[in-house]
Amino acid sequence: MKPTDEQIKAEIKALEELRPRVRHHTIFGGDNRAAIDVQIRVLKGEIDDFDIDDLFDEEELTEHERDSAWEAANWMEGEGETDTLSENWQPLAKGNL
């Protein structure tokens, strides 16, 4: 089921609050905070599913950011594997490490 406007707003807020607490880099060097930023941009409608691969091809997104953007785009269509995007970042937040 697609999220409501209220759920999207709540998710943006949750991601913004989590962002500074999330481990900055993955073990492979990917920037987790940039990945969260791109998810927020998708939720705000600044990037749509037509833009994601183009931005990656133009090297404006890393692979980690592209994958995170697709995760957000899929969640917006009700196709996410989890109820929220933020729950995927919880394990990487300080206090949960």
Domain ranges of the chain: 5-92
Three-class SS of residue 25?
Answer: strand
User: What amino acid occupies position 56?
Assistant: F
Q: What is the pTM of this model?
A: 0.93
Three-class HEC string of 34-50 = HHHHHHHHHHCCCCCHH
- Report the largest interatomic distance among the alpha carbons of the chain, rounded to a whole angstrom: 36
The strand pairing partners of 25, in sequence order, are 31
Within 10 Å of residue 80's Cβ, how many Cβ atoms?
17
How much is the pLDDT for 80? 81
Low-confidence ranges of the chain (pLDDT < 50): 97
The strand pairing partners of 31, in sequence order, are 25
How much is the pLDDT for 81? 83
